[in-house]
Amino acid sequence: MNIFKPARDLFLLRQLSFDAVAFSRWQSIIAISLIGLLTGFDPSMRASDPDMPPMPLTAALMLGLLSVWIGFLTIIKFLKWWLKRGDRWDGQGDLLNLTTASWLVADVLCAGLVVLGVLTIFTFPLWLFSMWVGANALHGAIPKVSIGYAIGGVVLSLIPAVVSVIIISSVVGGAMAIIGGA
């Protein structure tokens, strides 16, 4: 089994069980890493203060990879807690594979469009759709989770994820400034 068929089906808002995302974990690792690398190619990642040299491409790629992984793992951790509240989910099933497959198509499209120069404001609706796809996937795989509860979990999970990514980006940016200034 591979990640592509469930990713396509989830993008098309088909509800799947956890059995449908029983592909090998390495496929999720590669998919998340692909999204991270594409994020690193975002031209705004390399934009800098006029007084500073632009961030090297390798540093931008590493920052994109790191920020996507930190954000993704934070979302998964939050969703595990959120979905277990009120005995909605028993913890059975691969939540990492499910969320990776649900976000793969839309996130690769978003990141790819940004790399091609499409302004983020124009990719925002696709990013919102990605959140809907993720919530729909949770609702389909976990019968006790309503679509509203799933949307709430996805939206709320973004708060600690964004905070984590901002902290990581600030630390890496500060280190780059120190290294660049030396």
Query: Which 3-state string (H, E, C) describes the chain?
Result: CCCHHHHHHHHCCCCCCHHHHCCCHHHHHHHHHHHHHHHHCCHHHHCCCCCCCCCCHHHHHHHHHHHHHHHHHHHHHHHHHHHHHHHCCCCCCCHHHHHHHHHHHHHHHHHHHHHCCCCHHHHHHHHHHHHHHHHHHHHHHCCCCCHHHHHHHHHHHHHHHHHHHHHHHHHHHHHHHHHHHC
Q: How high is the mean pLDDT in each 10-residue block of the chain (182 residues)?
A: 94 96 96 95 74 78 93 97 95 95 96 90 94 97 96 97 90 71 49
**pTM of the predicted protein model:** 0.89
Count of structural domains, the chain = 1
**Which pLDDT score is estimated for 168?**
85
**Which pLDDT score is estimated for 42?**
86
**Which pLDDT score is estimated for 133?**
98
Range of the domain at 39: 4-181
